[in-house]
Amino acid sequence: MAGHELEPVIGLEIHVQLRTATKMFCGCALGFGEPPNTRTCPVCLGLPGALPVANAEAIHYGLMIGMALDSELAPVSTFHRKNYFYPDLPKGYQISQFDLPLCSGGKLGKVNIHRVHLEEDAAKLNHAGASGRIEGADSSIVDFNRGGTPLAEIVTEPELRSAEQVGEWLRLLRTTLRTLGVSDVNMEEGSLRCDANISLRPTGSDQLGTKTELKNMNSFRFIERGIRAEVERQRALIEEGESVTQETLHFDPKTESITSLRSKEEAHDYRYFPEPDLPPVVITEAMLARAAAELPELPAAREQRYIDELSLSPESARLFAWRAELADYFDAVRASEASLEPQQAANWVTELQGRLGDQEAVDSNVTAASLAKLASMVASATINQGGAKQVLDQLVEHGGEPEAIVAAEGLEAVGGADELAPIVAEALDANPELTERLRGGDMKPIGVIVGEVMKQTRGRADGKEVTALVRQQLGLS
Amino acid sequence: MSEELQALSAADAAAAIAKGDLGRGELFEHYRARAASDELNAFTWVAESMPDSVDGPLGGVPIAVKDLFCTEGIPSQAGSKILAGYCPPYTATAVANLEAAGAPILGKTNQDEFAMGSSNENSAYGPVQNPWDRSRVPGGSSGGSAAAVAAGLAPWALGTDTGGSIRQPAALCGIVGLKPTYGAVSRYGMIAFASSLDSAGPLTRNVTDAALFYRHLVGRDSADATSVSFPEPIALPTSERLDGITLAVPAALVDGDGIEAGVRDSFEAALESARGLGATVVSCEIPSAPYALSAYYVIAPAEASSNLARFDGVRYGLRVDATNLDAMYTETRHDGFGDEVKRRILIGTYALSSGYYDAYYGRAQRVRTVVASELSAIFQTADFIVTPTSPTVAFGLGERTADPLAMYLSDLFTIPMSLAGTPAISIPSGLSDGLPVGLQICGPAFSENRILGAAHALERAIGFDGSSAWSAL
Ligand SMILES: [Zn+2]
């Protein structure tokens, strides 16, 4: 079948480390880069006789996530054991949830949520030796500081259709979680981790193709690149008439290569069964009320508020609301110069973000106050658009105060008939041939005259004003 | 003096210490010396001197502790080679509670590996001999604890009961054993066999000792999410009569094949004593009882297969070095676990496997619910269910090791209460051909005070004397 008839079907499994004071099933404080195995106890080391006790705060965070994702919250939720052997799993099973997860269903943006459940994180393995993996390692050592950190696993329905869509949606999810305050949601540090289930199918079909699972991608860029690479790999296989094998894959961002971690045949039988050490979690009205009371304004509400109250364009409203840091920066810009038109402020924030790539505006050299100042200088025609963009370039590069840069670079706008009229007249005089054509009604050369004026003013004039003056001086208007 | 000391029950000894008639050190040294010269293989570790014990209501009367309880800095091997020499960094809540009440640790006692067994022959540290007849087993899995108390090597002992592991060895050794309501005693620090069934309880010379011991064992523990606070204080029993008490005998179960004539005779005599104390004896049915044993031997191994996964050679215990991870796991567990443990891990792993879960584990859990509701229905009209504790007296060492199913039948009468999570006590009802027989008294959840009361009245009427089993002084 031809390539253009295939569409990707992508579902995500996102692991979020919850920012509780203590671990999921013991009293150890969460690890933040302490010396190895210093945040441990009999429970999170899986010592004989130790028993888990569920962390009430993690359940509270889980309920907040469920509410934010519009999920159905279980009245009674149970923990299960997921059994498999691995050195980072001290008990030989992970306490997770199975048939009665804390949250079922739900929706974020346009993507339906399948479920949200709570579980414990594994410990961290370090492999000595060239392979960097446990196979062929000279030795492997385990740091249990991370083991037992509370995780919320969020599973989407397979409704995403492209790597770009995945990236955009994940930013919305990250913003939602960050707004809730339940997680640091830092992909590089592993507090937000994403696996993607990917398959291809004929566009419009309701059948699902054989899927592969792409594991543990730890940045937005790697996720998008990994998914793109896997979609292309599957597309090539199908177009060559071969079939996709169900397997778990690893994307290496350095080489852009995809390697198999294990096939379906090697998949574990996890032998899930109800965790006998933990009674079912009964969700009380009081727990629900507390979670509801602590819900902050969520991205969808913020988006709507920007449209309703600030008359932002839907594009700007969504861009900001789905990126909480950017929205906070935008709010700071507006707070700094109360007279600014919100959309103008929005346009300058967007302009700035366009120059920053992956860096957040709040982390850049440009303070909200200086961007606000710049925007208000444009609004008051102290400086024109072109000049302002030059100032912005300098702010991004070196930081500083916009007024100082304008003064130092002589970028104040040249405006008004008094200043501009002689320069326009000079430009017309210098181009008699073009002037004649303009007088004759052939307006094509007007751009050259305006360009000449801009050159003389080093871009500080306003193009519209110059055009108006040309017409005026030639008696055309 | 040592005869007088030996003759004191634990409660009497505690009272004598409290009055100043007896020195704590003297009592400890008496039992320490006896435990150290143990010829039954009841102990796996004996204290070298009395630990700094605290003042408390148990007055310094030392305890023997089943090996599977974690005790800080003291070997806690659960009868398994895979934990040979393992000294935990913390102490189990049950042991800590007793220590806090003034009972220092005398020693650790032998047991079936990970509490899997009914004869104590599944210990990596060798079988335990029954003090009544050294060619016979003491029962299991708390065989070391039962033999130590019966032989007078310890005043009392802490054991665990998953399917009968306190009650059956207590019966076979002629002492008292109490299996509590599930959750009444913390499991934190008990090396787990089957989490939903494991209960810690006392093995003692008499019912009053059991009550005193149990009083300091119960309590909600924030480290065990399944523990509950006991709704009332545990009283020392004073009952001498059973007037107005109805005892229900599950006729089909007790009249079935496999129950020895001597056991049945002793049981009938105990019922006669009860009638003499004013009790009414009625017949009842536990229709699901024949399935209870099967359900137990699915649920317990299923949980065990998961609980024992942590013994992987990575962090503690035995590690057999190998060329890769899977080989290290395989070799370590191959060498570290005994046959019965491996058998149950295999059964449990199978029962939980994808495609078999509903047929085995799911169905067994449904049987469990039925058993619990049938017992509960009986308790609507009867105060207690009574049965022999074990269908047989102590059997010969090696007699049943080749036939696991025959061994499993030892728990026929004790398993329904384990599945239902209800409390039950075993007290001696007499001897059959010179070997002790146990009587089981079972009540609804949290009825321990009433059970101890009835057991106390019957104990007085039966008048069993176990002192002939004491090792030479
Ligand atoms: Zn811990």
Cβ atoms within 10 Å of A51's Cβ, excluding its own: 24
Instruction: Please say if the pLDDT value at position A120 is more than 50.
Output: yes
Catalytic residue among B80, B118, B119, B141: B141
Look at A63 and A468; give whichever has higher pLDDT: A63
Q: Do B76 and A48 touch (CB under 8 A)?
A: yes
Does the active-site annotation cover B179?
no
Q: What is the rounded (10 degree) CA torsion for B41, B43, B45, B47? A: -130
Lowest mean pLDDT: which of A114-128, A144-158, A376-390, B15-29?
A376-390
Instruction: Please say if the pLDDT value at position A477 is more than 70.
Output: no
Instruction: Please say if the pLDDT value at position A475 is more than 90.
Output: no
Kindly state the average pLDDT of the residues A433-446: 86
Predicted local confidence at residue B1, as pLDDT: 60
A284: Cβ contacts below 8 Å, ≥ 6 apart: none
> Taking the domains of chain A in order of start, what are their residue ranges?
6-292, 299-409, 417-473
Distance from Cα A189 to the centre of ligand 1, integer Å: 21
Q: Please, what's the b/e burial string for B145-156 (b: 16 or more CB within 10 A of its CB; e: otherwise)?
A: bbbbbbbbbbbb
Catalytic residue among B119, B145, B165, B432: B165
Read out DSSP for A187-205? TTTTSEEEEEEEEEEETT-
CB B473 within 8 A of CB B221: no
Kindly report, residue by residue over B439-459, the tens digit of the pLDDT.
999 999 999 999 999 999 999
Whole-number percent of chain A with pLDDT over 70 = 98
- The overall average pLDDT reported for chain B is 96
A-facing residues of B in 169-188 (CB < 8 A) are: 187-188
Kindly state the average pLDDT of the residues B387-409: 92
CB B74 within 8 A of CB B65: no
Total length of chain B:
473
The C-alpha atoms of residue A294 and residue B154 are separated, in whole angstroms, by 57
Q: Which helix (H) or strand (E) holds B158?
A: strand B156-161
A367: Cβ contacts below 8 Å, ≥ 6 apart: A399
Predicted local confidence at residue A443, as pLDDT: 84
ipTM field: 0.96
The three-point CA angle B38-B43-B48 to 5° equals: 80
Instruction: Please say if the pLDDT value at position A458 is more than 80.
Output: no
Question: What pTM value is reported for the model?
Answer: 0.90
Q: Do A276 and B303 touch (CB under 8 A)?
A: yes
Q: Does B196 touch chain A (CB under 8 A)?
A: yes
Instruction: Please say if the pLDDT value at position B74 is more than 50.
Output: yes
Read out DSSP for A275-334? -TTSPPEE--HHHHHHHHHT----HHHHHHHHHHHH---HHHHHHHHTSHHHHHHHHHHH
The C-alpha atoms of residue A364 and residue B23 are separated, in whole angstroms, by 77
- pLDDT bin (cut points 50, 70, 90) of residue A380 is confident
Q: Do A134 and B76 touch (CB under 8 A)?
A: no
Peptide bond into B141 cis (omega under 30): yes
Predicted local confidence at residue A3, as pLDDT: 44
Instruction: Please say if the pLDDT value at position A2 is more than 60.
Output: no
Does the active-site annotation cover B165?
yes
Which site among B86, B187, B190, B315 would you substitute to test the A interface, given the most A Cβ atoms closer than 10 Å to its Cβ?
A: B315
Predicted local confidence at residue A135, as pLDDT: 75
Predicted local confidence at residue A132, as pLDDT: 72
Sort residue B366 into left (φ over 0), alpha (ψ -120 to 50) or beta. Answer: alpha
CA contacts within 13 A on the Cβ side of B107:
28
Kindly state the average pLDDT of the residues A274-293: 98
Work out the minimum CA distance from B318 to partner chain A, whole angstroms: 13
How distant is the alpha carbon of residue B128 from its chain centre?
Answer: 15
Kindly report, residue by residue over A62-102, the tens digit of the pLDDT.
999 999 999 999 999 999 999 999 999 999 999 999 999 99
Work out the minimum CA distance from A288 to partner chain B, whole angstroms: 22
Based on its alpha-carbon atoms, the radius of gyration of chain B, rounded to whole angstroms, reads: 21
Q: How far is CA B381 from CA A251, B421, B422, in A?
A: 67, 19, 16
B25: Cβ contacts below 8 Å, ≥ 6 apart: B50
Sort residue A317 into left (φ over 0), alpha (ψ -120 to 50) or beta. Answer: alpha
The C-alpha atoms of residue B163 and residue B361 are separated, in whole angstroms, by 17
The C-alpha atoms of residue B391 and residue A327 are separated, in whole angstroms, by 76
Does the active-site annotation cover B141?
yes
B190: Cβ contacts below 8 Å, ≥ 6 apart: A49, B68, B69, B70, B92, B94, B160, B198, B200
* Angle at which helices A402-409 and A368-379 cross, to 10°: 50
Tokens for B270, please give them. Answer: 């105990």
B4, amino acid identity: E
Kindly state the average pLDDT of the residues B146-155: 98
Question: What are phi and psi for residue A368, nearest 5 degrees?
Answer: -60, -35
Kindly state the average pLDDT of the residues B294-320: 97
The C-alpha atoms of residue A370 and residue A384 are separated, in whole angstroms, by 16
How distant is the alpha carbon of residue A392 from its chain centre?
Answer: 24
Cβ atoms within 10 Å of A76's Cβ, excluding its own: 10
Kindly state the average pLDDT of the residues B318-330: 95
Q: What is the rounded (10 degree) CA torsion for B38, B44, B46, B47? A: 180
Whole-number percent of chain B with pLDDT over 90 = 93
How do A124-128 and A150-156 pair as beta strands? unpaired
Tokens for B207, please give them. Answer: 């019912």
Which site among A273, A275, A278, A281 would you substitute to test the B interface, given the most B Cβ atoms closer than 10 Å to its Cβ?
A: A273
Q: Does A25 touch chain B (CB under 8 A)?
A: no
* Among B200, B102, B83, CA closest to B155: B102
Q: How far is CA B238 from CA A314, A335, B277, B384, in A?
A: 81, 79, 14, 18
Predicted local confidence at residue B52, as pLDDT: 80
Kindly state the average pLDDT of the residues B262-286: 98
CB B461 within 8 A of CB B276: yes
Q: Does A79 touch chain B (CB under 8 A)?
A: no
Predicted local confidence at residue B455, as pLDDT: 98
Q: Which of A49, A91, A279 sits opposite B92 (nearest CB)?
A: A49
The C-alpha atoms of residue B189 and residue B224 are separated, in whole angstroms, by 9
How distant is the alpha carbon of residue B22 from its chain centre?
Answer: 30
Which DSSP state fits A346?
H
- The overall average pLDDT reported for chain A is 91
* Angle at which helices A446-456 and A416-430 cross, to 10°: 120
The three-point CA angle B253-B258-B261 to 5° equals: 95
Kindly state the average pLDDT of the residues A147-152: 98
Instruction: Please say if the pLDDT value at position A459 is more than 80.
Output: no
Kindly report, residue by residue over A284-313, the tens digit of the pLDDT.
999 999 999 999 999 999 999 999 999 999
Whole-number percent of chain B with pLDDT over 70 = 100
Tokens for A437, please give them. Answer: 């054509």
Residues of chain B neighbouring A52 (CB-CB closer than 8 A): 225
The C-alpha atoms of residue B25 and residue B68 are separated, in whole angstroms, by 26
Instruction: Please say if the pLDDT value at position A174 is more than 80.
Output: yes
Residue B47, SS3? coil
Kindly report, residue by residue over B108-130, the tens digit of the pLDDT.
999 999 999 999 999 999 999 99
Kindly state the average pLDDT of the residues B198-211: 98
The C-alpha atoms of residue B205 and residue B151 are separated, in whole angstroms, by 10
Tokens for B442, please give them. Answer: 């079972």
B103: Cβ contacts below 8 Å, ≥ 6 apart: B53, B56, B58, B60, B61, B62, B63, B216
Predicted local confidence at residue A106, as pLDDT: 98
Q: Which of A49, A92, A273 sits opposite B189 (nearest CB)?
A: A49
Predicted local confidence at residue A336, as pLDDT: 94
Fold classified for A417-473: Arc Repressor Mutant, subunit A (1.10.10)
CB A138 within 8 A of CB A182: no
Surface-to-core class of residue A41, CB atoms within 10 Å of its CB (0-12 exposed, 13-18 middle, 19+ buried): middle
Instruction: Please say if the pLDDT value at position A1 is more than 60.
Output: no
CB B162 within 8 A of CB B418: yes
Residues of chain A neighbouring B353 (CB-CB closer than 8 A): 269, 271
A-facing residues of B in 338-377 (CB < 8 A) are: 349, 352-354, 357, 361
Whole-number percent of chain A with pLDDT over 90 = 68
Residue A396, SS3? helix
Instruction: Please say if the pLDDT value at position A326 is more than 80.
Output: yes
Q: Do A271 and B352 touch (CB under 8 A)?
A: yes
Residues of chain B neighbouring A81 (CB-CB closer than 8 A): 306
Tokens for A233, please give them. Answer: 């790999």
Kindly state the average pLDDT of the residues B315-322: 96
* Structural domains of chain B ordered from first start: 2-238+462-471 (3.90.1300.10), 289-368 (no CATH)
Kindly state the average pLDDT of the residues B333-337: 98
The C-alpha atoms of residue B214 and residue B186 are separated, in whole angstroms, by 12
Q: Do A83 and B352 touch (CB under 8 A)?
A: yes
Q: How far is CA B53 from CA A164, B50, B57, B62, in A?
A: 68, 8, 12, 9
Task: Name the one residue in this structure whose structure tokens are 């090996």.
Answer: B67
